[in-house]
């Protein structure tokens, strides 16, 4: 008997009927006939955690190393569509489920994936595929994430809590800038300069591809995009904690920069183009609305105001209301009185003295007085790079504002000045 059991375990033949050999299966049981064997029930192990529809769909069309060859894009889309259809036939379109539904899953009636029984009868496969574990698959193609509005508002709120005005570093990617003479027109030089500003303490980096100095000529849209987008993309990748701003009045340039990683648009025309507010609101970004009379090429021809403070504040209040109607709240709308834009030295001084009244409109205030020509008109004929002391004195009043931002070319000195001045104000 022991020998027979050993032969059965080893799968050997058993001699029957006078020495004839009869083939026996390896797992043959001597006391069980073929007709009496139980039905074989096959089970399928479902583990939705191991399934990734994006990987399955995206794997079709990639060559060695995951790199698409020339002419492979169209064929890849066809293969992805076929793979997506196969997955939908297997699991059904009900697999598409949001994150909130998974968060609200009840442990008893809708268990998490690891709580599912590991083996299911074939009749239960269709039902099991509809469970929340399988619905985690997302069959639609992924989309690039837009800049989330609450991220920008959180970053701005953190800046206002620092106890000093925020500092916006100016990066002019132009060959005809009045302040730096086109030293950073090349993308590599502009990125290096912006990173140095970030290391010096800049909270915001403002990238501009078109000069707004008096008498400056307009730049075509394509050329401006070519100037600013590489710099914006590099800064957004290298300094994710820094707010990247684009200085433009063209909606096409703003859309390209926001898609590249910018989160703020600095528009010297206060969104005169009706499409600008829609672009900013659609991207969840913020906007700086500045007062300027006319165009940069002609703005200094008419600098006479009956009441410059009242006119500027009324204009900015109307533009802030238009931004709110477009879907941009006050927390993401910053107001700039436009120091040096269509105003003489006396008008600029009056606007600087009336900054608390501008802050009363309910929006953060941006002041850009760095290296402006009115400083030389008041203090003497110094060149742009010799106006640092006057630039710092012009923005001293911003420390008394609850939410203020200073636009500066000399970031390190401006940060040090505002920090010390805010400390003195806090100690008083």
Does 418 fall in a domain? yes
Q: Are residues 297 and 269 in the same domain?
A: yes
Q: What percent helix, strand, coil does the chain show, rounded to 5?
A: 50, 10, 40
Asked whether residue 8 is domain-assigned, the answer is no
pLDDT at 138: 36
User: For residues 185, 262, 398 and 416, what is the CA-based torsion angle, rounded to 10 degrees?
Assistant: -60
Q: Which of 237, 260, 53, 263 is nearest to 141 (CA)?
A: 53
The β-bridge partners of 406 are 167, 367
Res 143 pLDDT > 60: no
**Does 163 share its domain with 274?**
yes
240 assigned to some structural domain: yes
Q: What angle do CA 205, 350, 372 make, to 5 degrees?
A: 40
Question: Residue 188: CB partners within 8 Å, gap ≥ 6?
Answer: none
- Euclidean distance between CA atoms 128 and 74, whole angstroms: 35
Q: What is the pLDDT of residues 55-112, one digit of tens each?
A: 444 544 444 444 445 566 777 777 778 777 777 776 665 444 444 444 444 444 444 4
pLDDT at position 196 over 80: yes
Domain count, the chain: 2
Higher pLDDT, 47 or 125: 47
pLDDT at 175: 83
User: Is residue 159 located within the same domain as residue 282?
Assistant: yes
Report the pLDDT value the prediction gives residue 279, as an integer from 0 to 100: 96
**One domain for residues 101 and 229:** no
Contact 101, 94 (CB under 8 A): no
Q: How far is CA 53 from CA 56, 81, 85, in A?
A: 5, 12, 11
- 145-149, 185-189, 221-225, 371-375: least confident range: 145-149
Percent of the chain at pLDDT > 90 equals 55
- pLDDT computed for residue 43 by the predictor: 55
Q: Give the three-state DSSP class for 274.
A: helix
Is the confidence at residue 164, as pLDDT, over 80? yes
The answer to whether residue 36 is domain-embedded is no
125 with 253, same domain: the answer is: no
Burial of 193 (0-12, 13-18, 19+ CB in 10 A): buried
Q: Find all residues with CB under 8 Å of 314, minimum gap 6, and list them.
A: none
Q: What is the mean pLDDT of residues 115-132?
A: 44
Asked if 288 and 265 touch (Cβ cutoff 8 Å), the reply is yes
Residues 228 and 347 in one domain: yes
Q: Is the pLDDT of residue 137 over 90?
A: no
Please indicate, yes or no, whether residues 285 and 347 belong to a single structural domain of this protein.
Answer: yes
In a domain, 175, yes or no: yes
H-assigned helices in 249-338: 251-260, 274-283, 308-326
Stated as kind and residue range, the H or E segment containing 22 is strand 20-22
**pLDDT tens for residues 334-351?**
999 999 999 999 999 999
Residue 183 binned pLDDT confidence (cut-offs 50, 70, 90): confident
Q: Is residue 28 part of a domain?
A: no
Q: Give the residue from 274, 277, 165, 177 showing the smallest Cα distance to 227.
A: 177
Q: For a pLDDT cut of 70, what percent of the chain falls above it?
A: 67
Token pair belonging to 351: 């606007």
Do residues 290 and 387 both lie within one domain? yes
Task: Please tell me which residue, 246 or 178, carries the higher pLDDT value.
Answer: 246
**Domain co-membership, 87 together with 178:** no
Q: Do residues 207 and 422 lie in contact, with contact meaning Cβ atoms separated by under 8 Å?
A: no
Q: In the numeric block, which tokens belong to residue 394? A: 């012009």
Q: What is the pLDDT of residue 313?
A: 98
Q: In this structure, what token pair is assigned to residue 314?
A: 């009324």
Q: What pLDDT is recorded for position 6?
A: 55
Separation between Cα atoms, residue 51 and residue 32, nearest integer Å: 41
Same domain, 279 and 375: yes
Q: Are residues 171 and 95 in the same domain?
A: no
pLDDT digits over 251-302, tens only? Answer: 999 999 999 999 999 999 999 998 999 999 999 999 999 999 878 777 878 8
What is the pTM (predicted TM-score) of this model?
0.66
Which residue, among 176, 147, 364, has the nearest Cα to 254 in the 3D structure? 147
Angle at 51 between CA 50 and CA 56, to 5 degrees: 135
Residue 67 forms part of a structural domain: no
Q: Say what the pLDDT of residue 38 is.
A: 54
Examine the domain organization and report whether 310 and 408 are in the same domain. yes
Residues 6+ apart with CB under 8 A from 160: 166, 364, 402, 403
Residue 169 φ then ψ, to 5°: -80, 140
The answer to whether residue 401 sits within a structural domain is yes
Task: State mean pLDDT over 210-238.
Answer: 90
Asked which of 135, 165, 200 is the last residue of a domain, the reply is 135
Active site residues: 372, 407
Residues 6+ apart with CB under 8 A from 10: none
User: What's the CA gap between 184 and 190, in Å, rounded?
Assistant: 5
Contact between residue 398 and residue 418 where contact means Cβ atoms under 8 Å apart: yes
Reply yes or no on whether the pLDDT at 142 is more than 50. Answer: no
User: In this structure, what CATH number is given to the domain that contains residue 201?
Assistant: 3.20.20.20
The predicted pLDDT at position 188 comes to 92
pLDDT of residue 84: 76
Question: What is the domain range of residue 413?
Answer: 149-427
Task: Give the whole-angstrom CA distance, residue 257 versus residue 249.
Answer: 12
């Amino acid at each position: 008997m022991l020998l027979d059991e050993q032969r059965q375990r080893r799968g050997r033949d058993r001699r029957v009927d006078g020495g004839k050999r009869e083939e026996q299966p390896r797992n043959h049981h001597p006391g069980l006939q073929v007709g009496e064997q139980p039905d074989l029930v096959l089970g399928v192990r479902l583990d939705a955690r191991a399934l990734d529809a994006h990987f399955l769909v995206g794997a079709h069309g990639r060559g060695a190393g995951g790199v698409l060859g020339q002419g492979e894009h169209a064929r890849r889309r066809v293969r992805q569509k076929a793979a997506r259809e196969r997955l939908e036939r297997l699991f059904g379109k009900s697999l598409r489920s949001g994150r909130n539904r998974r968060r609200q899953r009840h442990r008893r009636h809708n268990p998490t994936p690891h709580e599912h029984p590991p083996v299911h009868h074939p009749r239960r496969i269709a039902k099991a595929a509809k469970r929340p574990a399988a619905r985690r698959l997302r069959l639609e193609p992924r989309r690039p994430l837009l800049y989330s509005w609450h991220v920008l508002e959180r970053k701005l709120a953190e800046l206002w809590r620092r106890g000093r005005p925020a500092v916006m570093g100016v990066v002019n990617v132009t060959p005809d800038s009045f302040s730096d003479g086109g030293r950073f027109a090349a993308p590599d030089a502009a990125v290096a300069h912006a990173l140095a500003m970030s290391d010096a303490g800049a909270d915001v980096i403002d990238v501009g591809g078109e000069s707004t100095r008096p008498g400056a000529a307009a730049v075509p849209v394509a050329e401006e995009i070519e100037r600013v987008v590489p710099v914006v993309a590099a800064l957004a990748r290298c300094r994710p904690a820094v707010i990247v701003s684009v200085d433009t009045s063209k909606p096409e340039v703003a859309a390209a920069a926001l898609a590249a990683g910018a989160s703020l648009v600095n528009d010297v025309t206060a969104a005169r183009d009706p499409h600008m507010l829609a672009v900013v609101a659609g991207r969840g970004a913020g906007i700086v609305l500045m007062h300027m009379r006319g165009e940069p090429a002609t703005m200094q021809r008419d600098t006479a105001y009956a009441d410059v403070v009242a006119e500027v504040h009324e204009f900015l209040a109307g533009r802030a209301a238009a931004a709110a109607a477009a879907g941009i709240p006050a927390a993401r709308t910053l107001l700039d009185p436009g120091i040096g834009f269509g105003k003489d030295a006396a008008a600029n001084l009056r606007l600087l003295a009336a900054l608390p009244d501008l802050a009363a409109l309910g929006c953060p205030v941006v002041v850009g007085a760095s290296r402006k020509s009115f400083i030389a008109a008041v203090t003497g004929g110094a060149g742009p790079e010799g106006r640092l002391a006057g630039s710092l004195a012009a923005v001293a009043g911003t420390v008394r504002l609850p939410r203020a931002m200073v636009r500066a070319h000399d970031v390190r000195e401006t940060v040090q000045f505002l920090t010390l001045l805010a400390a003195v104000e806090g100690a008083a």
